[in-house]
């Protein structure tokens, strides 16, 4: 996913922490084959899944007791920085030339997610990725759902308030509330915004403009953190969180979570979260059926589309995405 179709130099959620255990795993992210593994003290490492020697997949290798990843083909050993530390055929006592190394991606692990810094050499003062700061005390469950769509399209679907009565007419869109007042977009910082939505049945009045809508005291909103995190703030005790993980130009993995704290006991709380997931997946699959038909696959700021007032959150997302891609 090169060029203008993905934002570079960003922290991307790419995996659930539980997906990387004692053995290396190979996945495709941003159109690249990557290997993830845990070195000493359990810290996650990541680099391209291709040995610098003869191109074997390192994900088929193993993690050694010294914390290095060993290639399955000729035993080359890599430390978490991507440097080859030992070439068995040359004797372990001989120094390894500097050219034997791979590009390593900085990683961060928190909140049950693994991020990588995808792009150029990271800055020396690289800050950790952002996450939603109001999820303490919640129990959650997760599903990983494949979509045959570009990640930008999947994100835009979750920022689209006017599709609910049509795509979700028998689930969350019941009531035929086709008129959307606003929607109101509030930027919390340059890379984080909220969307406030109020919908009603068509009574002949046009939708109110954003400046005419009072959102003070509103407890429901959508929130997005660039480049690929979203939250549906349903209530103070119930949330849906999604990470839109880019696989390649035509495939995305939706890491969909349901958070709740109306039941806080670990066993009952976890069970309540798990029981909510089938309905959340049903709603997501109603979206998926439509989003996978959209063309062109990736979205852009300027496209052959005719937008309406209710598309404002999508326009705001596209504007900022374009700025980040071209800076």
- Residue 125 maps to a domain: no
Instruction: For residue 197, give the CATH number of its domain.
Output: 3.90.380.10
Mean pLDDT, the chain, integer: 95
| Average pLDDT of the residues in 246-254 | 97
| 110 and 179 assigned to the same domain | no
Provide the number of structural domains found in the chain.
Answer: 2
- Residue 123 maps to a domain: no
C-alpha distance across the termini of the chain, in Å: 18
CA distance 124 to 122: 6
| Average pLDDT of the residues in 159-163 | 97
Contacts of 278 (CB under 8 A, 6+ apart): none
Please write the tens of the pLDDT for every residue from 61-114: 999 999 999 999 999 999 999 999 999 888 787 888 889 999 999 999 999 999
| 7 and 66 assigned to the same domain | yes
Please write the tens of the pLDDT for every residue from 118-129: 988 888 899 999
| 99 and 154 assigned to the same domain | no
- The pLDDT, as a whole number, for residue 1 is 52
Count the Cβ atoms, other than its own, within 10 Å of residue 206. 9
| 187 and 71 assigned to the same domain | no
Percent with pLDDT over 70 in the chain: 99
- Residue 130 maps to a domain: no
CA distance 110 to 173: 33
- Residue 255 maps to a domain: yes
Banded model confidence at residue 327, pLDDT cuts 50, 70, 90: confident
Q: Is 212 exposed, middle or buried (0-12, 13-18, 19+ CB in 10 A)?
A: exposed
Peptide bond into 227 cis (omega under 30): yes
| 189 and 259 assigned to the same domain | yes
| 148 and 260 assigned to the same domain | yes
Instruction: For residue 92, give the CATH number of its domain.
Output: 2.102.10.10
Q: Which residues span the domain enclosing 68?
A: 3-118
| 173 and 290 assigned to the same domain | yes
Banded model confidence at residue 2, pLDDT cuts 50, 70, 90: very low
């Amino acid at each position: 996913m090169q060029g203008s179709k993905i934002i570079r130099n960003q922290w991307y959620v790419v995996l659930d922490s539980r997906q990387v255990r004692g053995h290396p795993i190979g996945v495709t992210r941003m159109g690249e084959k990557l290997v993830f593994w845990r070195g000493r003290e359990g810290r996650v490492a990541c680099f391209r899944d291709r040995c610098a020697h003869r191109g074997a997949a390192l994900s088929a290798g193993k993690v050694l007791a010294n914390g290095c990843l060993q290639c399955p083909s000729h035993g080359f050993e890599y430390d978490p920085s991507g440097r080859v530390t030992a070439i068995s055929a040359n004797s372990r006592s001989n120094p390894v030339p500097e050219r034997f190394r791979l590009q390593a991606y900085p990683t961060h692990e928190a909140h049950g997610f693994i991020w990588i810094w995808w792009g150029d050499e990271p800055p020396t003062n690289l800050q950790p990725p952002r996450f939603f700061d109001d999820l303490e005390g919640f129990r959650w469950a997760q599903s990983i759902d494949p979509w045959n769509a570009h990640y930008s399209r999947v994100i835009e679907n979750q920022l689209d308030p006017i599709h609910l009565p049509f795509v979700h007419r028998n689930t969350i869109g019941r009531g035929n509330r086709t008129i959307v007042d606003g929607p109101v977009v509030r930027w919390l910082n340059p890379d984080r915004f909220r969307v406030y939505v109020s919908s009603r049945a068509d009574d002949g009045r046009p939708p109110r403009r954003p400046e005419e809508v009072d959102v003070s005291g509103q407890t429901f909103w959508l929130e997005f953190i660039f480049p690929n995190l979203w939250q549906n703030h349903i209530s103070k005790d119930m949330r849906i969180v999604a990470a839109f993980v880019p696989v390649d130009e035509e495939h995305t993995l939706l890491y969909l979570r349901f958070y709740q704290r109306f039941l806080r006991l670990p066993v009952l709380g976890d069970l309540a979260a798990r029981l909510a997931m089938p309905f959340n997946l049903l709603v997501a699959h109603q979206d998926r059926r439509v989003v996978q038909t959209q063309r062109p696959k990736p979205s852009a700021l300027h496209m052959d589309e005719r937008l309406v007032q209710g598309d404002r959150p999508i326009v705001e997302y596209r504007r900022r995405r374009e700025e980040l891609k071209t800076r």
